[in-house]
Structures are given as C-alpha cells and as structure tokens.
Amino acid sequence: MEILDLRHFSSVDLRPLLNDETRVWASLLSWDYNGSAEMILRYVDAKILPGYAAIERGRIFGYSFFVYEGSKGVVGDLFVANGARVPNAREVELKLLTHVIETLQQSPGIHRVEAQLLAHEAGSVARPFLDQGFQRYPRLFMVLELTNATPQAPAMHPEVEIRRWTEADYQPAAAVITAAYRGHVDAQINDQYHTLSGSLRFLNNIVRFPGCGLFDAESSYAAVDRKAKNLIGLILCSRVRGDVGHVTQVCVLPEYRSRGVGESLLAATSTNLRKRGFSMLSLTVTEANAGAVILYRRLNFESKRVFDAFVWEG
C-alpha cells in the first residue's frame, strides 16, 4: 500500500471510491452525497484539491482531502473502502489522517486546523489528532422522523414573530450568529462564529454553496421582535436528500432565550417539511451544548450517531 498526493490522480481514478462513499453516506446519514462527490471530482480534475490517496496495485481505495481558508486548514473528508480488498481499513484511515495532519501543521501560515468527521464513529480515528495536540469535541447526529401527526405549536412570547427567511436577513443574521455564540463551545469548534465577517462567510457557505446540501429557503425562518422589528433568532435548513432536511443553523439572541423561540423555529421548519412530504429532519449538536440537546430530545429528535470534531491551534 502506498500513500500518494491526491493531485497525481483524476476523477476517473477517484470516481469508483466516491460511489462507495455515496452509498455509505446514504445508509449512515440519509444524506445524498452525489452533489459533494461531483464537486470533489471537479477539484480533483483541476488538480487543486490537496490531500492523499491510498493506493494498492494502481487503484485508489482510500483518500482524505483538506482545504485552506486563510490561516486555517479544514479536513474536508476521509474515506476508506471497506471490504475483502482492504484487510485493515482502520490502519489506512489513520495513515491518511497522519499525513493530512502533518501537512497542515507544517504549512506556513497555518495556525489552526479543524476537522469534523460525520461518517466516523466517535473515538474511532481520534488517535492521530490527540497525538498531535488536538482538542476533541464529541457531537451528536440527531434525527426527527416527520410522521403525519403535526405537533402542537408551542406557546411563545407575544412580542416575537416567526416569519419566512428572506435575502434581506443575511447581514442581521450574521450579527445574531456572532452574538449567540459568544463564549459558546461551538465557537471553539468553528472560529467563523467569532467575528461578523466570519459569520457572514459561514452564511455564504451554507446559503450559496452546495457543500452541505442545497439551502432550502422555504423551510428556513427568522424570529423578529415585533416592536423593535429586529432579527433575534433564525433557523436555516438545507435539503440533503430529496425528502430529508438538515438544520445547518439555529440560534437565538441570549436575551430572548427560554421563551420558546428556539422551539417555535424548529416547529416552523418541521411543519413546513412535513407539509411538503419530507420524511426526516436531521441536525448535529455538540454533546457539551447540554441545553440544546435537552431541547432537541424534548422535541423527539433521536440521537443516531456520535462523531468527533477536532481543533488544533498552533
């Protein structure tokens, strides 16, 4: 087995592996990975995707890639085909990650590395990260089955209105995200939340790029103070499969919490998806964000998987 630079290969070499990965994402996460796979293949053909491929007898059976965002490196993905041809997939995963981590930590100007490995069980590939001084944050992948029964709309503070998301909410939403995550564990995992410009970049990625499903404006909502008319909370939802929605963001300004706004935002999204025939709504939440986990459990979200987020600061 050899580990080689991913930029030596083309989409023809990588496509069979991505087809395997698409099947794994469908079964583990009810996620249609085809859009992401096509994007990865375009970058591979352009020879601009940094990463490593595991090769045996000329065939790629595992890969991991990363991206640079300013002074930050983000591990994009890790996948190794499991099966008779691959006797020890875990060892290959660890080798690929070791290469990726070393490369990122030694890249000039890179002071931070983030990774979220959704399709990997918590702890399973932690070793190379922990050995290199990364912090580990267990996160839950939770799912709400959208059965026909519509839940009772929660009682909410009369001064707050929930209405459909619009393009004009973009700027104020970045300010709400920055304020909502001040001192929050998720701001340790994703440093975009620290600043207004970072939160805008986060929004831009979610709304304009298809990396995390296709943004679904119809099931995304804003919470507005009726009197002051300003945005005080939001929920953003993307379509990750024809009939599956995924909450990419939900937050409420600290001074408006514990009044049922968060619950109402989640109810607005799930009610909309139900009406449109969706079968499922998923989300991810950091285990240490206990209040949010309690809220989701109360709303019948079930925890399906635990995965890890890793962060290193040099």
Ligand X SMILES: CC(C)(COP(=O)(O)OP(=O)(O)OC[C@H]1O[C@@H](n2cnc3c(N)ncnc32)[C@H](O)[C@@H]1OP(=O)(O)O)[C@@H](O)C(=O)NCCC(=O)NCCS
Closest CA to 237 of 225, 220, 250: 220
Whose structure tokens read 């099931």? 219
Write the CB contacts of 103 (distance below 8 Å, at least 6 apart in sequence).
Answer: 50, 66
Return d(Cα 24, Cα 13) in angstroms, integer. Answer: 19
Helix (H) or strand (E) holding 293: helix 290-298
**Residue closer to ligand X, measured from CB, 13 or 287:** 287
**Residue closer to ligand X, measured from CB, 146 or 162:** 162
C-alpha of 251 from chain center? 15
Q: Compute the least distance from the CB of residue 177 to ligand X, in Å.
A: 8
Question: Helix H segments across 107-260?
Answer: 127-131, 170-180, 185-189, 196-208
Return d(Cα 163, Cα 222) in angstroms, integer. Answer: 5
Whose structure tokens read 């990396």? 211
Q: Compute the least distance from the CB of residue 275 to ligand X, in Å.
A: 21
Return d(Cα 148, Cα 4) in angstroms, integer. Answer: 50
Q: Compute the least distance from the CB of residue 259 to ligand X, in Å.
A: 5
Return d(Cα 314, Cα 132) in angstroms, integer. Answer: 10
Q: Compute the least distance from the CB of residue 155 to ligand X, in Å.
A: 10
Q: Compute the least distance from the CB of residue 180 to ligand X, in Å.
A: 5
**Residue closer to ligand X, measured from CB, 57 or 298:** 298
Closest CA to 310 of 78, 63, 89, 109: 78
**Residue closer to ligand X, measured from CB, 17 or 222:** 222
**Residue closer to ligand X, measured from CB, 127 or 305:** 305
CB 268 within 8 A of CB 167: no
**Residue closer to ligand X, measured from CB, 142 or 273:** 142
Residue type, 192: Q
Q: Compute the least distance from the CB of residue 75 to ligand X, in Å.
A: 20
Residue type, 219: S
Question: Which residue's Cβ has the minimum distance to ligand X?
Answer: 291
Residues forming beta bridges with residue 78, ordered by sequence position: 64
Q: Compute the least distance from the CB of residue 123 to ligand X, in Å.
A: 21
**Residue closer to ligand X, measured from CB, 37 or 236:** 236
- Can you give the binding site for ligand X, defined by CB under 6 A? 180-181, 184, 186, 250-252, 257-263, 285, 289, 291-292, 294-295
